[in-house]
Chains A and B, each alone.
Chain A
């Protein structure tokens, strides 16, 4: 047998060492990342045939792509599925193939470097061992739930068995990823090693076939209980966890995952048709289709920065308030040098303190990385950084004259090719731009609060904005890993102009006597991440009044209660009271109060909330839909899909609907 066999596979490469160890590299043809498409899987079956003929002493599966291990199933193939039967066949293909891999006679090991998602992790789980490479890019996840489907290629079977049902269900129900160190800690990986010894580690572990150290007795007992007598209890807890976030009617997948683990041994194919957890229920619900649509919308936004090779190294932010400070922090996290300017160092200090906390969270206690990131965030009370910056972002208070004189000064000091951007939400870009000698240099880069959390950034094209400036601004937004949405300069751009009328309608309902809790409950039930009244409290009642005026003109009459609350200094979350009272950053709602009074001993169940009146959510959403449609008609956004993308990623609008315009088109109206 020659040490290196030549095969005519397109995607796989098999190499046999003298030691008897075989290395199998996945290198999907004509792709930058590995995905498990039908032909990749078909070839893999062929590889297993060849290995069966002459079994190696051990097999290591790795990726030949620098991008990562395996990104998952092929979403394109998945979105083309036209019937439940086709979907069932897709699940079956992977399920059977990975069962075959799991049953081979020789030891197998997945060497995981970079992303290992969905089907990729299910393949790795079907191996006997896993080694993860300790690099920031190494991420393991079963994110199927985010696309409204279930990890049907053995993930639901093998992950709970490997790391225990509690941790496994948590990963599968949230779709969140774990890094290399955490994968080792969870027992998902046998070992976590630096890249310099990864081949050596894979060889030693695969050939020695050393079994993992048995778990401590307590953990073994716990797992036995959770897989045995306590199974139902664990499942109920997981269902409750899912139900706190989403409803089963809109999101069947997470509940199906729990059912399939609890009752069907992790085998989705075993669920009888017609069951609430069956593949036909999941694949025939619009949710999966819509979530795939949302995925594609996201890919479309991501593509916006692609035509720019702009690689900004230095960002200068003027205004160290919450918004400016967070923008600066996010840029520093992405490796850029950031100078943060405000009138005094005392005004900059709170932003540095907030950034330090953010960095500690994001770097997960890696003290050196926290320090390097903080080193890149430079307080700059004199604004020296403006002369050196590739991007200058203004995020000061909304005052036209101050902004105009600031930009005149910035233009004089900035490098000739630096991007000059304003984060204004309520002033006209054109009114600011005329303060510049070259008004075509000004672009809007509009972030949303809280900046570290929200993915969308509106890139605003003013009447005069130069196309290249726009391209660079968009490229910059991608470099900080946000989703750029190109919008035309118009009051409120897209997101605020659709949120304004929506929040106003919610406040009108309150004005008419509907309890704020009721309004919020109706919209949360629809699928919004937060009720509109709570949202008003969160953004601040004063801001809401000002934004309302800016959007609707001075003549518009804000709701009387809103004005009264502002008059009393009750500005919402920031002042401790608005429509709700706020305790520890949380709104106190009528239902919660009962529970709190109940105390530990008399844990009264809260009175069941009164039924939500029919049509309440639709009423509050109608102005949002109208505003979204208007933005498309006026050309504020390029097309209806982009409008949906903007509203979903900018407001959290119920993703399972596929976006406001999409669900209107499908159903005529929401719900």
Chain B
């Protein structure tokens, strides 16, 4: 990149698992709580930001430009613009990349960028049939017309469409995200046991990370209006085991599939933010950056293979910088599905796959000991828009523990895309 892009600081809410009812906080509540705590510890005031960019895959109908709503709720003032970006599961990473673009071209010097989603607040929608019926009902003027309309009404019209199921279905290939995971499992011969073992390890790593305090720095505890405290990610299970996971039934390809809720990421509410700055802003405010974003990449692939997106976004970065997987000190690869992460690792090591898609020999899979060292979304949850920002933030935390270095964060994107960012710590 022509100009250095600094990550000054970051923070996120605990990731709160959806419990079949709207959670205690709306999306803008979450983003505001994490953002105000983050901004409070900066040496600059919120109104000194040049802009606020928020990724969100499913903003509620009353907060469609949630980026601006949150900017105002954070006390940034009327003059700081706020906007919202959407690239499904990578909306948070897109927010960072949009910030990078504006920092690069000199439009901004200091940007608050992040992602949020409160999937527990996803709406129930009227069915298409019901909407059409209602339109006819409102158009009916005479009593006769109305009676005629009433006769066409069917109870089935009332069956709601679950908004989140729509959101998690690919509109091009008509497959649920979990079904695209099944595609990859089939393609790479990944077994249910492989996936469950991966899930158990993810939970184990998150527990170890929580116990060691590796999440303490990035999490802003929340308090609801009844005084209840939400201090930690609550989807993680300390009792996760192969035996427990074996009890779950396949969800996406019922009966015959391998992907279960237990080896998939959870449906969760959460927000994550980063403060990004140019060299000039770092000097002006005397900031002490955590790290630098060296490069970023987006890639596209077949929608029904979307889980391999990280491989497609990562390969060009490795090639541009002449890096082998072992040259990277840490990897964060978002865990949408255990099957999908395992498929990525196999693809990285698969000469056929790499030659077909990238025209090069396989670079080899990243070392499991350097990948998602504190666990991932299978245990933490995947508040869609927030995850891309979370993995970049946490990657810096992992690198800091190692005494510095280079790392790569990547994420798969529903619709058949992948995003990746190369970061390094600043000494």
Contact = CB atoms under 8 A, between A and B. Distances in A.
B223 A349 contact: yes
A349 B225 contact: no
B36 interface: yes
Interface in A358-376: 371-372, 374-376
A350 to B, nearest CB: 5
Given A337-B75, A349-B228, A353-B226, A379 B221 contact: yes
Interface of A: 337, 339, 345-346, 348-350, 352-354, 356, 371-372, 374-376, 378-382, 384-385, 387-388
Contact of A372 (B41, B43, B73, B225): B73
Contacts of A352: 223, 225, 227
Given A379-B221, A381-B221, A384-B41, A350 B227 contact: yes
Given A345-B229, A349-B229, A384-B41, A375 B223 contact: no
A468 B35 CA distance: 34
Contact of B36 (A345, A348, A375, A387): A375
B64 interface: no
A375 B75 CA distance: 9
B32 A375 contact: yes
Contacts of B75: 337, 375-376
A267 to B, nearest CB: 51
15 contacts: A337-B75, A345-B223, A349-B223, A352-B223, A353-B223, A353-B226, A371-B73, A374-B225, A375-B74, A376-B75, A379-B223, A380-B40, A382-B41, A387-B43, A388-B40
Contacts of A345: 221, 223, 229, 231
Interface string B199-230: 00000000000000000000001010111110
Nearest to B221: A345
Contacts of B29: 371
**Is the interface on chain B under 10, 10 to 19, 20 to 34, or 35 or more residues?**
10 to 19
Interface in B227-248: 227-229, 231
Interface in B19-61: 29, 32, 36-37, 40-41, 43, 45
Nearest to B41: A384
B37 A378 contact: yes
Contacts of A376: 75
Given A378-B37, A379-B221, A384-B37, 17 more contacts: A337-B75, A345-B223, A345-B229, A345-B231, A346-B229, A348-B223, A349-B223, A349-B227, A353-B223, A353-B226, A353-B227, A354-B227, A356-B226, A376-B75, A380-B37, A385-B40, A387-B43
A222 to B, nearest CB: 38
Contacts of B228: 349
Nearest to B73: A375
B175 to A, nearest CB: 39
Contacts of A339: 40
Contacts of A379: 37, 221, 223
A250 to B, nearest CB: 42
Nearest to B74: A375
A343 B29 CA distance: 24
A339 B220 CA distance: 14
Contacts, number: 51
Nearest to A379: B223
Contacts of A382: 41
A378 B221 contact: no
B225 A356 contact: yes
With most chain A CB atoms within 10 A of its CB, the pick from B40, B41, B73 is B40
With most chain A CB atoms within 10 A of its CB, the pick from B41, B226, B227, B228 is B227
A346 B232 CA distance: 13
B49 to A, nearest CB: 15
Nearest to A354: B227
Nearest to B70: A375
Contacts of A384: 37, 40-41
With most chain B CB atoms within 10 A of its CB, the pick from A375, A378, A381 is A375
Leading 8 A-B pairs by shortest Cβ distance = A353-B227, A384-B41, A356-B225, A345-B221, A349-B227, A352-B223, A349-B223, A375-B73
A372 B231 CA distance: 22
A345 B222 CA distance: 8
A385 B45 CA distance: 11
Nearest to B220: A379
Contacts of B73: 371-372, 375
A384 B217 CA distance: 13
Interface string B297-338: 000000000000000000000000000000000000000000
A381 to B, nearest CB: 7
Contacts of B223: 345, 348-349, 352-353, 379
A387 B231 CA distance: 24
A345 B227 CA distance: 10
A371 B221 CA distance: 18
A379 B219 CA distance: 13
Contacts of A374: 225
A339 B38 CA distance: 12
A385 to B, nearest CB: 5
Nearest to A346: B229
A529 B229 CA distance: 38
A339 B75 CA distance: 13
Contacts of B45: 388
Nearest to B32: A375
A625 B422 CA distance: 75
B172 to A, nearest CB: 39
B36 A378 contact: yes
A353 B32 contact: no
Contacts of A380: 37, 40
A376 B46 CA distance: 13
Contacts of A356: 225-226
Nearest to A370: B225
A418 to B, nearest CB: 14
Interface in B88-132: none
A382 B220 CA distance: 11
Nearest to B44: A388
Contact of B40 (A346, A372, A375, A378): A378
Contacts of A387: 41, 43
A345 B23 CA distance: 20
A349 B221 CA distance: 10
A169 to B, nearest CB: 37
Contacts of A354: 227
A352 B231 CA distance: 15
Nearest to A360: B225
Contacts of A381: 221
A4 to B, nearest CB: 37
Interface string B60-94: 00000000000001110000000000000000000
Contacts of B41: 382, 384, 387
Contacts of A385: 40
Contacts of A371: 29, 73
